[in-house]
Amino acid sequence: MAKTLARKKSAAKKGGAKATPKRSAAKSATSKAAKAGGKYVYLFGKKTDGNGSMKPLLGGKGANLAEMCRIGLPVPPGFTISTEVCTYYYANKRTYPSTLRGQMEAGIASIEQQTGKTFGDLKNPLLVSVRSGARDSMPGMMDTILNLGLNDQTVEALSVKTNNARFAWDCYRRFVQMYGDVVLGVQKRPDEDHEPFETVIEKLKHERHHGDVEDTKLSVADLKELVARFKKLVKERAGKQFPDSPWDQLLGAVGAVFGSWMNDRAIVYRRKYNIPTEWGTAVNVQAMVYGNTGDTSGSGVAFTRNPANGVKEFYGEFLINAQGEDVVAGVRTPEPVAELKKEMPKAFAELERIRQTLEKHFKDVQDFEFTIEDGVVYMLQTRNGKRTAMAALKFSMDMFKEKLIDWKTAVMRNPADQLEQLLAPVFDAAEVEKAKAIATGLPAGPGAASGQIYLNAERAVVAADKGEKVLLVRVETSPEDLRGMIAAEGILTARGGVSSHAALVARQMGKVCVCGAAAIEVDYQSRTVKVDGKTYKEGDWMSIDGTVGKVYAGQVKTAPSEIVAGLINGDETAKKTEKFKHFQQLMKWCSDASRMSVRTNADTPEQTANAVAFGAVGIGLTRTEHMFFEGDRIDAMREMILAETLEERKAALAKLLPYQREDFAGIFRALKGYPATIRFLDPPLHEFLPHTQQQQQELAKKIGVGAARIHQRVEQLHEFNPMLGFRGCRLGIGYPEISAMQARAVFEAAAEVQKEGIKVRPEIMIPLVGFKKELDLQIEVVHQAAREVQAEKKVKLNYLVGTMIEIPRGALTADEIAQSAEFFSFGTNDLTQTGLGMSRDDSGSFLPNYQELEIVKKNPFATIDASGVGQLVDIAVKKGRASRPNIKLGICGEHGGDPASIHFFEKVGLDYVSCSPYRVPVARLAAAQAALGAKTGE
Ligand code: ADP
Ligand code: MG
Ligand code: MG
């Protein structure tokens, strides 16, 4: 069985331009495919096989092309080769299913029939585009080829048929350029700053027009010369002739699309966005429509609403007399779509109608691509528009008001991992007054960024690795710059509009971005930026405001966002902003939708108050040891550690007690009645001791102990593996007086605050428990302290004692432990370390490689390893509830603020998650979405 797309002998013999097989041959091929049972090709057009829900099979682009055909929008006919072929291709040494070729021939035949044109014909040639399309759109990752089917004969046919030689040759030179780049691999070398084809164009422009004229100014003779030079370039660099036969071209292009699924850029992108490699891409083959026939044609990209700030306005841009690639590539700076109203009123009206239809049908903001051929509008793509967090929030609130969506959908429309963008600082208004604006561009990614400028991605990454704040400045960006864009605080480009690569990526990554700031002159050679009469070198500071599109010289100070200003600082003006009100509405809906609640990890009254302002309903983790480092408390702590007798230790602890009591009282007050989980001393003692000789001498003087003794004690406490050493409850079991002091501090503070009329609900948490007996010993110490304080202060205190589940033995014996523990809190940091036998602090040397090799899909210290460590959580939940049905279950590890992990915790049925104060809104949104998703099965 032939498993390549090699043409069958009978078809091959005909050769040359007329490559299309007879219809009957195509038909018999189709019926064979049907018998073989594998459908690989899905038509769209007059007859449409697919629909919008088939994204896994047809890719996002293919599924939505089908959907647009179904709702009667004008789409050029074509077909989609399914993602199953991509899977097959990689599973079978880059070969194809045997029936694919025949199905493709039938597909081409169907397009021919609908357009009245014939592939490779010498009178009326059909040209097609070959377009990739994964399930999720991957901007700039996969490459499209336009005008496929042209060769030295068909170009003449097209020229005669359209009576437009300039147009025909413009198509041809574009085709050779794109095909040479994408399929034949004629691309920029590492030492080149420009694409080689662009260099050829520029050279010709300078030779023949003495300057940098627009592409539209090139004559037929220029274009013919370009085609010849391009082919020569291909021959030189690729070492082979440019293929003439349309079918060879088509098969080569299809192969290139599948091949590009594994190119570096695609792999980097998938890793960043956690897109599984198995998904694969589809390929779309579609009849060309021409935006480059003259001044009544053009191409554009538009959004049904503004994706940067969320405003309900027709937003986008177009280029007259251009093919779509020009708009996306940012080669020429396009005009705003509103201009079309004047220039082509009929087409504009049609686009307005389409805009309405799209939103009514998809019920979400659409990002669509269109081409106007001689005044007639064609739709080439639509998808849910990528948006900034700010736009997502406004879209969701506005569409709810317009009754396009319900409140639950509105909640789902706000991406949880982007929400932090709304809390990011903006430029301080007073500082902006003083700053010097040196250029203006398009506000493509809202927010404020100050950084040292770098002009290429590599150097930007190096600088960011050194800890510099980086602003990536480019003429325009391309997918090769992705790493630099990820590393940078913000992105500034001189060319390109709102649909340029820079703008696209900024929207998706939430990067601050100003693009198309035409006044800046970027010189890659000298690594300088000239603007406003001044020259800036790499390493100099600039600032950009991506909300309004301004560029400033130097560093500009930032101020908190309206939401932070309103919630944390109580700023009344901020509270009146739409952004603030929308945010509060969203958070209220989150509370309505959630099953789990959200607590915070906080060690100070201030952190606690901030978290409560963000909507936390308690503390999930107070790390008491953090309190020991402040001021001269550390001295008392060290005295305690150095003590040689129980009496000495108790004396030192007595000095620590008032500090702890004061801290706890402050936290209880800030909590206003919400519960506080307080973890007893956890880290190994040597962490508190001075390690250099000088520090040891200083301490010796301070506390009146010999330096030699301090040195000796430090040596004594040294451990080979402190993470698994004398720490956690092992400390409290070794020195019960430490736990007794901590318990007393908690209860004395509770008594004090309770007397002020504030409800206090301490939940004392014993860390690192693996044996029930460990917990029992500590519980007794706690109860004893409680009894004493209640008697002394004549109060009744409500408190719980529970444990952290953070080592596998604790999880596996959770039923026994739950007989004593009134709550569990999963310490997923240690549970991951001990579950994987992998030290978080040492994982930097091998984990990146593990992710590269996909041994682990995500960093397990950021997103919970659901199938491994998650099982330990699941077991502990089940066993814990079995022996204590009303046991309270929470999680306080780093994972408590990670949306993907939160979805997992919803699934296993925890009562709450806990995270750092500024993560609280993210966790609330993720918890709400997890609950809503669980209901709808998403
Ligand atoms: P991307 O995924 O990078 O957006 P597309 O496949 O959408 O790539 O193609 C890029 C551009 O090429 C589109 O915006 C569209 O304008 C143009 N294009 C694609 N197919 C056709 C076609 N059949 N006719 C005219 N233009 C096309
Ligand atoms: Mg597109
Ligand atoms: Mg721990």
pLDDT tens sequence across 873-914: 999 999 999 999 999 999 998 899 999 999 999 999 999 999
**Which residue did the predictor score with more confidence, 764 or 710?**
764
* Candidate from 75, 131, 379, 500 with most ligand 1 atoms within 8 A of CB, to mutate: 131
Nearest residue by C-alpha to atom 13 in ligand 1: 324
Distance 485 CA to ligand 1 centre (A): 25
Cβ–ligand 1 contact at 324 (below 6 Å): yes
**Which tokens go with 281?**
């891409």
What secondary structure letter does DSSP report for 8? P
- pLDDT for position 630: 73
Q: Lay out the sheet containing 550-553: strands in order across.
A: 437-440, 550-553, 541-545, 448-454, 470-474, 490-493, 512-515, 442-445
DSSP three-state, residue 503 = helix
**Rounded-to-integer distance, Cα 443 and Cα 140, Å:** 20
Atom of ligand 1 nearest to the CA of 286: 23
User: Is a pLDDT exceeding 70 seen at residue 733?
Assistant: yes
**Rounded-to-integer distance, Cα 19 and Cα 243, Å:** 13
Mark the residues whose beta carbon lies below 5 A from ion ligand 3.
806, 827, 830
Atom of ligand 1 nearest to the CA of 76: 23
137-161 pLDDT tens trace:
775 456 789 999 999 999 999 999 9
Cβ–ligand 1 contact at 891 (below 6 Å): no
Nearest residue by C-alpha to atom 8 in ligand 1: 144
**Rounded-to-integer distance, Cα 21 and Cα 8, Å:** 10
**Rounded-to-integer distance, Cα 500 and Cα 489, Å:** 19
**Rounded-to-integer distance, Cα 917 and Cα 721, Å:** 31
User: Is a pLDDT exceeding 80 seen at residue 645?
Assistant: yes
Distance 664 CA to ligand 3 centre (A): 20
Distance 378 CA to ligand 2 centre (A): 13
For residue 178, give the ligand nearest its CA. 1
Distance 140 CA to ligand 2 centre (A): 9
For residue 369, give the ligand nearest its CA. 1
**Which tokens go with 432?**
């902006």
- pLDDT for position 26: 39
Average pLDDT over residues 294-318: 93
Banded model confidence at residue 649, pLDDT cuts 50, 70, 90:
very high
- Among 82-96, 106-120, 501-515, 857-871, where is mean pLDDT lowest? 501-515
For residue 132, give the ligand nearest its CA. 1
Average pLDDT over residues 272-293: 91
Atom of ligand 1 nearest to the CA of 328: 14
Cβ–ligand 1 contact at 146 (below 6 Å): yes
Report the DSSP pairing between strands 550-553 and 541-545: antiparallel
How would you label 522-544 residue by residue, b for 16+ Cβ within 10 Å and e otherwise? Answer: beeeebbbebeeeebebeebbbb
Contact 57, 82 (CB under 8 A): yes
* Candidate from 146, 150, 379, 508 with most ligand 1 atoms within 8 A of CB, to mutate: 146
659-701 pLDDT tens trace:
999 999 999 999 999 999 999 999 998 888 888 888 888 888 8
From the number of C-beta atoms within 10 Å of its C-beta (0-12, 13-18, 19+), residue 167 rates as buried
Nearest residue by C-alpha to atom 19 in ligand 1: 129
Contact 409, 389 (CB under 8 A): no
Cβ–ligand 1 contact at 148 (below 6 Å): no
Distance 371 CA to ligand 1 centre (A): 9
Contact 253, 286 (CB under 8 A): no
User: Is a pLDDT exceeding 90 seen at residue 867?
Assistant: yes
3-state per-residue secondary structure call for 45-103: CCCCCCCCCCHHHHHHHHHHHHHHHHCCCCCCCEEEECHHHHHHHHHCCCCCCCCHHHH
- pLDDT for position 482: 83
Cβ–ligand 1 contact at 289 (below 6 Å): yes
What percent of the chain has a predicted confidence (pLDDT) above 70? 94
Distance 381 CA to ligand 2 centre (A): 6
**Which residue did the predictor score with more confidence, 330 or 92?**
92
CB atoms within 10 A of CB 867: 8
Compute the C-alpha angle 42/373/518, nearest 5°. 105
Average pLDDT over residues 780-804: 98
CA distances from residue 799 to 23, 677, 746, 787, 795 in whole angstroms, order as listed: 82, 10, 10, 12, 12
Cβ–ligand 1 contact at 177 (below 6 Å): no
Residue for token digits 């459908």? 39
From the number of C-beta atoms within 10 Å of its C-beta (0-12, 13-18, 19+), residue 158 rates as buried
**Rounded-to-integer distance, Cα 629 and Cα 662, Å:** 15
User: Is a pLDDT exceeding 70 seen at residue 938?
Assistant: no
- pLDDT for position 141: 54
- pLDDT for position 634: 84
CB atoms within 10 A of CB 114: 17
Average pLDDT over residues 83-107: 95
What percent of the chain has a predicted confidence (pLDDT) above 90? 72
Average pLDDT over residues 255-270: 86
- pLDDT for position 854: 84
Cβ–ligand 1 contact at 181 (below 6 Å): no
Long-range contacts of 562-566 (CB under 8 A, 24+ apart): 562/426, 563/422, 563/423, 564/423
From the number of C-beta atoms within 10 Å of its C-beta (0-12, 13-18, 19+), residue 850 rates as middle
Cβ–ligand 1 contact at 64 (below 6 Å): no
Banded model confidence at residue 924, pLDDT cuts 50, 70, 90:
very high
Query: What is the DSSP track for 613-674?
Result: HTT--SEEEEEHHHHTTSTTHHHHHHHHHH--SHHHHHHHHHHHHHHHHHHHHHHHHHHTT-
Cβ–ligand 1 contact at 813 (below 6 Å): no
Distance 822 CA to ligand 2 centre (A): 56
Contact 55, 264 (CB under 8 A): no
Cβ–ligand 1 contact at 75 (below 6 Å): no
User: Is a pLDDT exceeding 50 seen at residue 31?
Assistant: no
Average pLDDT over residues 254-268: 87
Residue for token digits 């199953």? 84
Average pLDDT over residues 553-561: 89
Distance 29 CA to ligand 1 centre (A): 29
Residue 544 pairs in a beta bridge with 449, 551
Cβ–ligand 1 contact at 129 (below 6 Å): yes
Average pLDDT over residues 786-813: 98
**Which tokens go with 410?**
């509105």
Contact 291, 871 (CB under 8 A): no
Nearest residue by C-alpha to atom 6 in ligand 1: 131
**Which residue did the predictor score with more confidence, 211 or 284?**
284
**Which residue did the predictor score with more confidence, 142 or 506?**
506
Banded model confidence at residue 331, pLDDT cuts 50, 70, 90:
low
User: Is a pLDDT exceeding 70 seen at residue 50?
Assistant: yes
Cβ–ligand 1 contact at 622 (below 6 Å): no
Residue for token digits 């022996």? 883
User: Is a pLDDT exceeding 60 seen at residue 590?
Assistant: yes
**Which tokens go with 287?**
């009849």
Average pLDDT over residues 636-646: 89
Cβ–ligand 1 contact at 286 (below 6 Å): yes
Distance 111 CA to ligand 1 centre (A): 17
Banded model confidence at residue 3, pLDDT cuts 50, 70, 90:
very low
**Rounded-to-integer distance, Cα 341 and Cα 352, Å:** 10
Cβ–ligand 1 contact at 382 (below 6 Å): no
Catalytic residues: 501, 892
**Rounded-to-integer distance, Cα 171 and Cα 150, Å:** 8
Atom of ligand 1 nearest to the CA of 137: 2
CB atoms within 10 A of CB 650: 15
- Among 283-297, 329-343, 431-445, where is mean pLDDT lowest? 329-343
Query: What is the DSSP track for 842-880?
Result: GGGGTHHHHHHTTSSSS-TTTS--TTTHHHHHHHHHHHH
Contact 714, 695 (CB under 8 A): no
User: Is a pLDDT exceeding 60 seen at residue 325?
Assistant: yes
* Candidate from 69, 75, 108, 144 with most ligand 1 atoms within 8 A of CB, to mutate: 144
User: Is a pLDDT exceeding 70 seen at residue 19?
Assistant: no
User: Is a pLDDT exceeding 80 seen at residue 602?
Assistant: yes
**Rounded-to-integer distance, Cα 436 and Cα 770, Å:** 61
Distance 858 CA to ligand 3 centre (A): 21
User: Is a pLDDT exceeding 60 seen at residue 30?
Assistant: no
DSSP three-state, residue 608 = helix
CA distances from residue 415 to 279, 691, 714, 917 in whole angstroms, order as listed: 22, 46, 49, 19
- pLDDT for position 380: 97
**Rounded-to-integer distance, Cα 511 and Cα 452, Å:** 16
Q: What is the pTM of this model?
A: 0.81
- pLDDT for position 138: 72
Average pLDDT over residues 454-464: 95
- pLDDT for position 73: 97
Average pLDDT, the chain: 90
Distance 768 CA to ligand 3 centre (A): 6
User: Is a pLDDT exceeding 70 seen at residue 743?
Assistant: yes
Banded model confidence at residue 565, pLDDT cuts 50, 70, 90:
very high
Mark the residues whose beta carbon lies below 5 A from ion ligand 2.
369, 381
Residues constituting the chain: 938
Cβ–ligand 1 contact at 288 (below 6 Å): yes
How would you label 227-265 residue by residue, b for 16+ Cβ within 10 Å and e otherwise? Answer: bebbeebbeeeeeeebbbbbbbbbbbbbbbbbbbbeeeb
Comparing CA positions, the residue from 881, 849, 878, 855 lying closest to residue 868 is: 855
Nearest residue by C-alpha to atom 14 in ligand 1: 324
Nearest residue by C-alpha to atom 16 in ligand 1: 324
Amino acid type, 414: N
Banded model confidence at residue 328, pLDDT cuts 50, 70, 90:
low
Nearest residue by C-alpha to atom 11 in ligand 1: 324
**Rounded-to-integer distance, Cα 324 and Cα 304, Å:** 18
Cβ–ligand 1 contact at 597 (below 6 Å): no
- pLDDT for position 25: 40
Residue 601 pairs in a beta bridge with 621
